[in-house]
Amino acid sequence: MNKFFSTKMSIAVFATPALLLFTVFCVYPLLPQLWMSLHNHNGFQNLGFVGFDNYWSVMKSSSFWVSHRNTYLIVAISVLIGLPLSMVFALFIDVQTPRLRRFFKSAAMFPAILSVIVVSQIWVAFYEPNWGLFNTILRSIGLDGLTRSWLTNEKTVMISIGLTFLWQYIGLNAILLYTGIKTIPKNYYEAALIDGANAFQVSTRITIPLLQDVMKYVLILSSLGSMAFYAHVRVMTAGGPGDLSRTVIYQMYYTAFDTSQFGKGTAIAVIFILQCLVISFLIQRFVAREKVEF
Amino acid sequence: MKPMIRIVFTALLVLTMVAVAACSSNNSSSPSTSPSTGASEQPSGGKTDGEKVKLRIMTITTDENRNNIMEQFIKPNIAKEFPNLEVEFEPGGGGEDMANKMKTYNASGDMPDIFWNDAGFFTSLNQAGNIMDLTSYITEDGFLNKYKVPEALKHFDGKIYSLSSGADTYFTPVIFYHKDLFEQAGVQVPQTFDELIEASKKLKDEGIVPVVTPGKDGWGLKLFMLQQMVQTGDPEAMMKLVNNETDFNDPSVIAGVERIERLAKEGVFADGIANIDYGPAMEMFTSKKSAMLWMFTWELPNLAKIDSVDFFPFPSSSDKYDPNKVAQFWGSPLNGYAVSAKTEHPDEAVKVAEFLAMQDALYFESVGSAIALETGNTAANLSPLMEKFLNWYNAADVKIASFALNSVDARMSAELSTQGARLLTGEYPSAEFLKVINQEWEENTWFGN
């Protein structure tokens, strides 16, 4: 029996069902999209082969690049601001008493389990320019000059939506990182304490380095998750004003469904899939390459 | 060991195939093709004796009127009217949300049996053969005769695709206002565009938001604001635009768009207008946070319940326009309840569409609106505001069809929404708007269909 489990045949037997399902549900659906992106297609009628015209056409559109700028801004907010904050929050939870820890863990999870619609509507109310929370606070402390229409101003709309996204998922990432922290053996910390290390040194020399596998997972989750950013934009601004808050996914949906140009919509999808693959590859290739074992 | 591997391998493959088959959709009973013959020739479709016919209905759920129709008229009566039907209602929302849902269903072939049709997405449905021509059905069963003007139901191809209460014909955009807020600010009803801006400034000085209207996704701009700003300067130019006899290079059209830019820059609208949805806009007005509401008269029966509310037509921007003689009308023969051409139960679906149109009519009649579908009831007492409206509207000699419903394809409609919302921010030059929209207008396929 042991011999059976070590043969290539046995590997094939166990891998085949998963590979088959992956092929049927993930790889196969991409092929018609690829085909459609090379045609002038309105969603129900193929109006002819156009080669790469759809690709050139979408890349010449200013909305396409606006949507890319917005998407990568969200990725940057999520990774460069969200991840460090999640890490700090995870370390903060770790040093609390058991009762406070339970409270902070629940509080951290709370926004993540709320519906995107609910969260977005709450934040739309916060940003409302006439009586919303933020402008009311600013007015009450005499900073009337800083009040603005957060969701219709070109300079603030994307940051405002990004903060909503950050608020919703920062706690979830913190919980994931905290779970990773709990897997680090206690004797490392005990040794560090005997050597006289303070909390900062323990965090930077032991906790964070030993968390790299979890951080890699959270990084992939955050970056690819924020690249697929759509629902918050849909609810909060419908991509507007104009196209100013569209993300790539939103632009793809708008092109295909709102304007009935499915050929161009799928061209955007294909370009976007390639970007996701490259980012995923870069993370796999350059982040946490050496396996940590304790 | 080899036989064992073969057995395990075969078993796993079979399990995988079963899993894949279980996950796939069951299309064994493919729906019938588009019916082009009379109702009596259609089979009732897959129903066995004693089994209820299942129908899926997507309704429009944009506002309080629609919710009232559903809760007070349709739901309480449909089971009595159709005891053999099992109906699944799907709230469709409205505007771009509903259009996107319908386009998705259209593309996937998963059309509801009955749905609220709209000019914004009709072309896609028609090209895909997913919308039924109802002419033969409603002619044979006599439902067509219940309309005061049956011709108004016909699309320009001569076919009837939708059944409505006919209230649409009486829907037009006006400016609702609170008389007491005007008095408080010392403002008179404006007669000209410049007076409107001056009145707005006075209201703003009093801490009152001058004008609110749904601006999110360019709703208000697309459906009436663009048209009103053009036709209050030059009604003839607007009529030409609706009929594809001019374009966005027309000086009168350019002037209309520039007026919108000016309104946004002068602070006439509520802050953040480009992101204010229908519900919040209504709430702002009814709670008197805003003095004026730019809205269609389908809200008139509800607003007439507020003592302080009155209305006036859009003020003039030039002497070519007389507010008492020109009005935009909402009506499109395409707006109303339609039936999927691929429904398995065409007879039942058409009957349900007729029932839904009648419930709409009964509701609008009950709140004192004018309707074109005969309900058999005696006319209800009209509110003073409705009487005032009907007197004004019926006296208007020139009625211009809605540009958004009768002149643009799905792509142009979506781009009008996009560009319109941006124009409302006051940070987007009208020249940019015109450049983009004129390009879309050149590629507009509506008049080619």
Shared-domain flag, residues B206 and B73: no
Nearest residue in B to A258, CA atom: B414
Are A42 and B124 an interchain contact pair (Cβ–Cβ within 8 Å)?
Answer: yes
Residue A3 has pLDDT above 70, yes or no: no
Among the residues of A239-261, which ranges form H helices?
248-253
Give the dihedral sign, CA A16/A20/A26/A31.
positive
Residues 6+ apart with CB under 8 A from B415: A259, B436, B437, B440
* Contact call for residues B66 and B93 (beta carbons, < 8 A): no
Within chain B, which residues score under 50 in pLDDT?
1, 19-48
* Contact call for residues A226 and A247 (beta carbons, < 8 A): no
Kindly report the CA angle at A245 between A239 and A251, in degrees rounded to 5?
A: 60
| Mean pLDDT of the residues in chain A | 91
Residues 6+ apart with CB under 8 A from A84: none
How many structural domains comprise chain B?
Answer: 2
Supply the pTM of this predicted model.
Answer: 0.78
Among the residues of chain A, which ranges form H helices?
2-6, 8-22, 30-37, 53-60, 62-76, 83-94, 98-113, 116-127, 133-140, 157-182, 186-194, 199-202, 208-210, 212-227, 231-236, 248-253, 262-286
Q: Is A79 contained in some domain?
A: yes
Q: Is B377 contained in some domain?
A: no
Chain B: give the shortest CA distance to residue A102, in Å: 38
Q: Is B434 contained in some domain?
A: yes
For B172-208, give the DSSP string: -EEEEEEHHHHHHHT-PPP-BHHHHHHHHHHHHHTT-
Q: Residue B42: what pLDDT?
A: 37
Shared-domain flag, residues B282 and B342: no
Shared-domain flag, residues B410 and B318: yes
Kindly report the CA angle at A170 between A236 and A278, in degrees rounded to 5?
A: 85
Q: Which two tokens stand for residue A80?
A: 């460069």
Give the pLDDT confidence of A220-262 residue by residue, as tens digits.
989 988 999 999 999 999 998 999 999 999 999 999 988 889 9
DSSP tag of A239: T
Give the pLDDT confidence of A66-118 residue by residue, as tens digits.
999 999 999 999 999 999 999 999 999 988 999 999 999 999 999 999 999 99
Class of residue B84 by CB neighbours under 10 A (exposed 0-12, middle 13-18, buried 19+): exposed
How many CB atoms are located within 10 Å of the residue B346 CB? Answer: 27
Shared-domain flag, residues B236 and B297: yes
Q: Which residues pair with B398 in a beta bridge?
A: B326
Q: Residue B39: what pLDDT?
A: 33
Nearest residue in B to A19, CA atom: B16
Shared-domain flag, residues B266 and B411: yes
From A9, A25, A45, residue closest to B5, measured CB to CB: A9
Cis peptide bond upstream of A111, omega within 30: no
Confidence of residue A285 (pLDDT cuts 50, 70, 90): confident
Coil, strand or helix at B212: strand
Q: Residue B99: what pLDDT?
A: 84
Are A240 and B271 an interchain contact pair (Cβ–Cβ within 8 Å)?
Answer: no
Dist. CA B153–CA A217, nearest whole Å: 59
Q: Residue B72: what pLDDT?
A: 92
Q: Is A80 contained in some domain?
A: yes
Residues 6+ apart with CB under 8 A from B391: none
Q: Is B26 contained in some domain?
A: no
Contacts of A237 in chain B (CB under 8 A): 216, 275
| CATH code of the domain covering residue A171 | 1.10.3720.10
How many CB atoms are located within 10 Å of the residue B254 CB? Answer: 18
Contacts of B20 in chain A (CB under 8 A): 20-21, 24
User: To the nearest 10°, the Cα dihedral for B146, B152, B155, B157?
Assistant: 90
Q: Is B9 contained in some domain?
A: no
Are A17 and B415 an interchain contact pair (Cβ–Cβ within 8 Å)?
Answer: no
Chain B: give the shortest CA distance to residue A128, in Å: 8
* Owning domain of residue B250: 171-329+384-448
Q: Is B388 contained in some domain?
A: yes
| CATH code of the domain covering residue B276 | 3.40.190.10
Dist. CA B303–CA B291, nearest whole Å: 13
Shared-domain flag, residues B66 and B131: yes
Confidence of residue A292 (pLDDT cuts 50, 70, 90): low
Dist. CA A240–CA A233, nearest whole Å: 8
How many structural domains comprise chain A?
Answer: 1
Q: Is B193 contained in some domain?
A: yes
Q: Residue B228: what pLDDT?
A: 97
Buried b / exposed e over B366-385, threshold 16 CB at 10 Å, is bbbbbbbbebeeeeeebbeb
Dist. CA B410–CA A4, nearest whole Å: 61
Shared-domain flag, residues B108 and B175: no
From B8, B272, B422, residue closest to A151, measured CB to CB: B272
Q: What percent of chain A has pLDDT over 90?
A: 70
End-to-end CA distance of chain B: 68
Dist. CA A65–CA A251, nearest whole Å: 10
